[in-house]
Amino acid sequence: MQITQSISVIVPTYKECENLPELIRRIQKIKERNNLNLELIIVDDNSRDGSEEYIQSLALPWCRIIVRRDERGLSSAVLKGFEEAKGDILIVMDADLSHPPEKIPEFIEQIQQGADMVVGSRYVPGGKTDEEWGIFRWLNSQIATLLARPLTSIKDPMSGFFALPREIYKQSAPLNPTGYKIALELLVKCPIKKTTEIPIFFSQRARGKSKLSIKEQIKYLVHLRRLYFFKYENLTYFFHFSIIGFSGTGVNLLALTVLVFFGIPVRVSVAIAIIIAMLSNFILNRWFTFPHAVKSPWLPQLIGFMGACSLGAVVNYFTVLFLLHLFPLFEKIPQIPALVGILAGLVFNFILSKNFVFRKG
Ligand code: GDD
Ligand code: MN
């Protein structure tokens, strides 16, 4: 294999000094054996554990360390490395030797064969995670991967070991470096057509501690929500709106039960329960589904929402009447047209809410 392109390996680090000697030794071996035009960029977030001094003492012309003193975060560190990188091919990997540097030539080969993104994967045949991975971490990783499924067909989008041509990175939509999963961000936001996964053996970190905290996992959910909005804008709004609508059904029934329990006449209770559910839907949609709406005054929104929903209720009602008229059979099972009516009302409410009530500035 003849490799002519230049390569930048970016390694984000936070307190990884004790792993650096072996990492660099192994990368150097690959570089020499394959005669690679390779630079190594370590992006350290002010670890103050001797990493900086160590790299400087090596004085290798192909290896440098960037120390960020004002910012902290894995993804933003990777992006910082991308900005500084000179290579035609960008490769990202961890410092703790979970990712075998010996796989680098395979990554390059795949890019040369036309891949826009190559991911080191634990979940393709031949890939493996270290035995010592506890059940909790395994399950956690499985759920996180499942949640990302609609965003990418890659089997291991959580991987932090990946490569892509610089040209592809340059064409990405604006990137948001929150959270841990920079590969997923790039998969969604870069014009990536062809992806390849290379099986890797993900070993237990050599030394030091993992930096993956609960806080990072919550950030992952926020990150996912943002990526869903980016990729499936309307569908994601509708999904959020439906969840709130579902909760509203619960609020309605609960309120109805309580009101009837206190002896309020049924017809009055039904009406009050509907209004309570509409209010609860209004508050939740404004906060959860259309968060941009909190910047605008709430009273006109409330009036608009109630108006839209009452129209939705009419749409719901007439849908049911229409279905009963079309299929007299439904007289015996009115639940079916009622459900269709609820769905029609939901879609109608959604369209009005999104385009008129909570519309963007
Ligand atoms: N610059 C910088 N800033 N680097 C960081 C930071 C930070 O805030 N936090 C973590 N890192 C570096 C670590 O020093 C390490 O080199 C790499 O990012 C991965 O961090 P680990 O703490 O080893 O993460 P992990 O082992 O839990 O996560 C690994 O598995 C995930 C998939 O399950 C990594 O490979 C992740 O990239 C991967 O997503
Ligand atoms: Mn690790």
| Ligand 1, atom nearest to 212 Cα | 27
pLDDT at 361 (0 to 100): 75
Domain check: are 302 and 287 in the same one?
yes
pLDDT at 212 (0 to 100): 77
What is the rounded end-to-end Cα distance, in angstroms, of the chain?
55
List, in sequence order, the alpha helices (H) in 69-134.
Answer: 74-84, 104-112
Q: Of 230, 237, 216, which Cα lies nearest the Cα of 173?
A: 230
pLDDT at 131 (0 to 100): 63
Domain check: are 288 and 180 in the same one?
no
Q: Residue 209, CB half-sphere, CA atoms under 13 Å: how many?
A: 3
Give the tokens for residue 26: 């192994």
Domain that holds residue 62: 7-231
Cα angle value 87/91/94 (rounded, 5°): 135
190 CA to centre of own chain: 14
Whose structure tokens read 């009302």? 345
Structural domain includes residue 296: yes
Report the DSSP beta bridge partners of residue 43. 12, 66
Domain check: are 200 and 245 in the same one?
no
Total number of domains constituting the chain: 2
pLDDT at 217 (0 to 100): 85
Domain check: are 254 and 320 in the same one?
yes
Minimum-distance ligand to the CA of 68? 1
pLDDT at 149 (0 to 100): 95
- Residues 148-162 as b/e (b if ≥16 CB within 10 A, e otherwise) read beebbebbbbbbbbb
Among the candidates 199, 231, 263, a domain finishes at 231
Q: Please write the tens of the pLDDT for every residue from 249-286.
A: 889 889 988 998 999 888 888 888 888 999 999 999 99
Contact 309, 278 (CB under 8 A): yes
Domain check: are 325 and 315 in the same one?
yes
pLDDT at 1 (0 to 100): 60
Structural domain includes residue 1: no
Domain check: are 279 and 257 in the same one?
yes
Whole-angstrom distance, CA of residue 294 vs CA of residue 276: 20
Contact 313, 268 (CB under 8 A): no
Domain check: are 191 and 272 in the same one?
no
Say which residues have a Cβ less than 8 Å from residue 337's Cβ, sequence separation at least 6: 319, 320, 323, 324, 327, 330
Look up residue 33 and give its amino acid: R
Closest-CA residue, ligand 1 atom 15, reads 94
112 CA to centre of own chain: 28
Query: What residues does the ion ligand 2 have nearby, CB within 5 Å?
Result: 96, 98, 205
Ligand 1 pocket by C-beta < 6 Å: which residues? Answer: 12-14, 16, 43-45, 72-74, 77, 94-96, 98, 141, 158-160, 180, 205, 210-212
pLDDT at 347 (0 to 100): 92
Structural domain includes residue 101: yes
Structural domain includes residue 2: no
Whole-angstrom distance, CA of residue 304 vs CA of residue 240: 19
Among the candidates 231, 264, 296, a domain finishes at 231
Structural domain includes residue 43: yes
Domain check: are 186 and 273 in the same one?
no
Domain check: are 165 and 283 in the same one?
no
Whole-angstrom distance, CA of residue 346 vs CA of residue 340: 10
Give the tokens for residue 98: 């979970």
Minimum-distance ligand to the CA of 44? 1
pLDDT at 333 (0 to 100): 80
- Residues 292-318 as b/e (b if ≥16 CB within 10 A, e otherwise) read ebeebeeeebbebbbebbeebbebbee
Domain check: are 180 and 327 in the same one?
no
Domain check: are 265 and 222 in the same one?
no
CA–centroid distance, residue 9 to ligand 1 (Å) = 15
Average pLDDT, the chain: 92
Structural domain includes residue 29: yes
| Ligand 1, atom nearest to 144 Cα | 33
pLDDT at 20 (0 to 100): 98
| Ligand 1, atom nearest to 11 Cα | 16
Stretch (H or E) spanning 199 = strand 195-199
SS3 state at 66: strand
Domain check: are 206 and 272 in the same one?
no
Q: Which CATH number fits the domain that encloses residue 156?
A: 3.90.550.10
State the 10-residue block means of pLDDT for the chain, 361 residues long: 87 97 98 97 97 97 97 95 98 96 97 97 90 77 92 94 98 90 96 97 87 85 93 94 91 89 87 89 95 93 93 88 91 81 89 92 75
Among the candidates 206, 231, 256, a domain finishes at 231
